[in-house]
Amino acid sequence: RKEVEQDPGPFNVPEGATVAFNCTYSNSASQSFFWYRQDCRKEPKLLMSVYSSGNEDGRFTAQLNRASQYISLLIRDSKLSDSATYLCVVNKGALGSWGKLQFGAGTQVVVTP
């Protein structure tokens, strides 16, 4: 089983609609979680950090469910510019893994006019 699993998609979303997708992680000791955005094999860029029960940044909302070991990302009022691959990233959390992140393979979102 992969340490961080994501639905690869693609999620095809009409412009203006809402899209949500999840990411599951296997290490219950994980302490920090992030969503990154990656465009066309360019570098990953930090979208949001998810440190507690979740947080919101404009049209983007991230939720953390520790009991079920998943995090979610919701995008409201989708824009064409939101088309990208969204990477779920989890701090490995175990002793000796300080600062080491585990990346999911990404969920592709395609926003259509």
Give residues in contact with other proteins (CB under 8 A): 4, 8, 31-32, 34, 41-46, 49, 51, 87, 89, 91, 98-106
Q: Which residues pair with 33 in a beta bridge?
A: 50, 90
Q: How far apart are CA 113 and CA 102, in angstroms?
A: 34
Q: Which residues pair with 23 in a beta bridge?
A: 6, 71
> Least distance (Å) from other proteins to the CB of residue 67?
20
Provide the 8-state DSSP code for 14: E
> Least distance (Å) from other proteins to the CB of residue 72?
18
Nearer Cβ to other proteins (78/85): 85
| Residues 86 and 72: beta-carbon distance below 8 Å | no
Nearer Cβ to other proteins (79/100): 100
> Least distance (Å) from other proteins to the CB of residue 79?
23
